[in-house]
């Protein structure tokens, strides 16, 4: 914590200068919750920043820092305080501050349906209290976000009855429907736990497991995948307020473009990772028909049920919006 505080103080003076000037050229300090080994950082986040820079004719520039600068679970506050101006993250990393974006991943439907319902605007309004402006909210197609890697394939029962699965609490309802129980472990312990049989599988996004080499000890990819993942891009409200209307429009226009592109790009990257895992000896194992039918609903309802006690008023309002727009059943 002392090292983090020192780093933030070192950046603070620079950050204040960056956003206080109304000059044409503005340089932003950005921070990402992932390093460059995670494909969305380069294919989504850094591409978006390059597009903004190009659209501005080079007047908007970016210096990107990763989790080595500020740990992912501690990034929200310094961006809200304008120490950094831009944040690329996931709701789980600041769940202790607000569960709202995790709850949003319980919604169903596609990008067009979310836009009609104004979900992005509701998220933006919620995060304003933390000094943040939501500038882009890329999402994945429903049913393409998360999966489970298993030591042994699905048996005749079609479920995961009695198995212990490394997972966060977001997966608890889905695992319960499948007859499994969650075990919370840090990523650094998953390989060994799979290898020794401490857990029978690991739940993870469909992109990102390859680099951990879990396919060496968990060769079965459970299908179908499930859920939606949101990769928000925030800007400090102070930085946003310092932009001209023309500069804001560049950020907004490029955000719409990258959101559209990402909705199509994620499935391609997911297939690319699955193909790579299969090439390394993994195999697909399918849930039973009954479990497949229940999967989407159990994930959606489970995420809402998990987050609701943390903020009943606002997540309750989100549920009403979801129901009114056929994003929840």
CATH at 150: 3.40.190.170
Q: What is the pLDDT of residues 289-306, one digit of tens each?
A: 999 999 999 999 999 999
Query: Do residue 306 and residue 163 come from a single domain?
Result: yes
| Structural domains counted in the chain | 2
Question: Which pLDDT score is estimated for 2?
Answer: 46
Q: What is the pLDDT of residues 267-290, one digit of tens each?
A: 999 999 999 999 999 999 999 999
Cα separation of 284 and 114, whole Å?
Answer: 31
Query: Do residue 154 and residue 16 come from a single domain?
Result: no
Using left for φ > 0, alpha for ψ between -120 and 50, and beta otherwise, residue 179 falls in: left
Average pLDDT over residues 8-17: 46
Mapping DSSP to helix (H, G, I), strand (E, B) and coil, where does residue 132 land?
A: strand
Cα separation of 127 and 135, whole Å?
Answer: 11
Query: Do residue 39 and residue 183 come from a single domain?
Result: no
pLDDT over 70 at 207, yes or no: yes
126 belongs to a structural domain = yes
Query: Do residue 14 and residue 159 come from a single domain?
Result: no
47 belongs to a structural domain = yes
322 belongs to a structural domain = no
3-class secondary structure per residue, 71-121: CHHHCHHHHHCCCCCEEECCHHHHCCCCCHHHHHCCCCCCHHHHHHHCHHH
Average pLDDT over residues 167-178: 96
The encoded tokens of residue 258 equal 């990258």
Query: Do residue 37 and residue 13 come from a single domain?
Result: yes
Range of the domain at 223: 146-227+273-311
320 belongs to a structural domain = no
Question: Which pLDDT score is estimated for 175?
Answer: 98
More confident site: 19 or 289: 289
Question: Which pLDDT score is estimated for 21?
Answer: 42
pLDDT over 70 at 228, yes or no: yes
Average pLDDT over residues 217-236: 98
The strand pairing partners of 284, in sequence order, are 221
Quote the mean pLDDT of the chain: 93
More confident site: 7 or 88: 88
pLDDT over 70 at 1, yes or no: no
Query: Do residue 14 and residue 127 come from a single domain?
Result: yes
Query: Do residue 203 and residue 247 come from a single domain?
Result: no
Cα separation of 40 and 140, whole Å?
Answer: 11
Using left for φ > 0, alpha for ψ between -120 and 50, and beta otherwise, residue 158 falls in: left
318 belongs to a structural domain = no
Q: Which of 177, 175, 186 is nearest to 148 (CA)?
A: 175
Query: Do residue 243 and residue 167 come from a single domain?
Result: no
Last residue of a domain, one of 268, 292, 324: 268
* Beta carbons within 8 Å of 181's beta carbon, 6+ residues apart: 163, 164, 165, 175
Question: Which pLDDT score is estimated for 25?
Answer: 86
Average pLDDT over residues 204-218: 95
* Beta carbons within 8 Å of 40's beta carbon, 6+ residues apart: 34, 207, 231, 262
Binned at pLDDT 50, 70 and 90, residue 8 comes out as: low
Mapping DSSP to helix (H, G, I), strand (E, B) and coil, where does residue 264 land?
A: helix
pLDDT over 70 at 321, yes or no: yes
317 belongs to a structural domain = no
Q: What is the pTM of this model?
A: 0.91
165 belongs to a structural domain = yes
DSSP string spanning 175-188? HHHTT-EEE---GG
Query: Do residue 45 and residue 159 come from a single domain?
Result: no
More confident site: 8 or 150: 150
Binned at pLDDT 50, 70 and 90, residue 39 comes out as: very high
Query: Do residue 88 and residue 20 come from a single domain?
Result: yes
pLDDT over 50 at 322, yes or no: yes
212 belongs to a structural domain = yes
Q: Above pLDDT 90, what percent of the chain? A: 91
pLDDT over 60 at 13, yes or no: no
Helix (H) or strand (E) holding 149: strand 146-150
Average pLDDT over residues 100-106: 98
Using left for φ > 0, alpha for ψ between -120 and 50, and beta otherwise, residue 281 falls in: left
Question: Which pLDDT score is estimated for 329?
Answer: 87
pLDDT over 70 at 14, yes or no: no
Query: Do residue 11 and residue 108 come from a single domain?
Result: yes
Query: Do residue 105 and residue 84 come from a single domain?
Result: yes
């Amino acid at each position: 914590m002392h090292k983090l505080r020192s780093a933030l103080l070192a950046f603070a003076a620079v950050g204040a200068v960056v956003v206080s000037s109304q000059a044409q050229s503005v340089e932003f300090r950005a921070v990402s919750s992932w390093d460059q080994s995670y494909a969305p950082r380069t294919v989504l986040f850094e591409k978006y920043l390059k597009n903004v820079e190009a659209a501005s004719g080079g007047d908007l520039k970016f210096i990107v820092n990763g989790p080595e600068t500020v740990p992912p679970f501690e990034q929200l506050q310094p961006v809200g305080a304008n120490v950094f101006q831009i944040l690329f993250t996931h709701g789980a990393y600041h769940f202790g501050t607000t569960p709202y974006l995790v709850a949003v991943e319980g919604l169903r439907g596609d990008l067009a349906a979310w836009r009609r319902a104004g979900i992005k605007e509701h998220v933006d309004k919620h995060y304003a209290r933390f000094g943040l402006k939501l500038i882009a909210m890329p999402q994945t197609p429903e049913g393409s976000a998360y999966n489970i890697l298993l030591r042994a394939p699905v048996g005749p029962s079609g479920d995961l009855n009695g198995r212990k699965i490394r997972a966060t609490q977001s997966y608890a309802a889905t695992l319960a429907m499948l007859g499994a129980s969650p075990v919370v472990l840090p990523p650094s312990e998953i390989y060994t736990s799979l290898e020794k049989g401490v857990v029978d599988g690991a739940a993870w996004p469909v992109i990102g497991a390859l680099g951990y080499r879990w396919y060496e000890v968990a060769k079965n990819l459970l299908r179908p995948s499930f859920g939606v993942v949101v990769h928000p891009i925030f800007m400090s409200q102070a930085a946003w307020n310092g932009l001209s209307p023309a500069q804001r429009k560049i950020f907004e226009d490029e955000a719409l473009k990258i959101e559209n592109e990402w909705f199509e790009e994620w499935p391609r990257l997911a297939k690319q990772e699955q193909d790579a895992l299969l090439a390394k000896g993994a195999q697909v194992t399918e849930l039973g028909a009954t479990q497949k039918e229940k999967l989407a609903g159990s994930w959606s309802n489970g995420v809402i049920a998990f987050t609701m006690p943390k903020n009943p008023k606002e997540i309750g309002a989100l549920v009403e919006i979801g129901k009114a727009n056929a994003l929840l059943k």
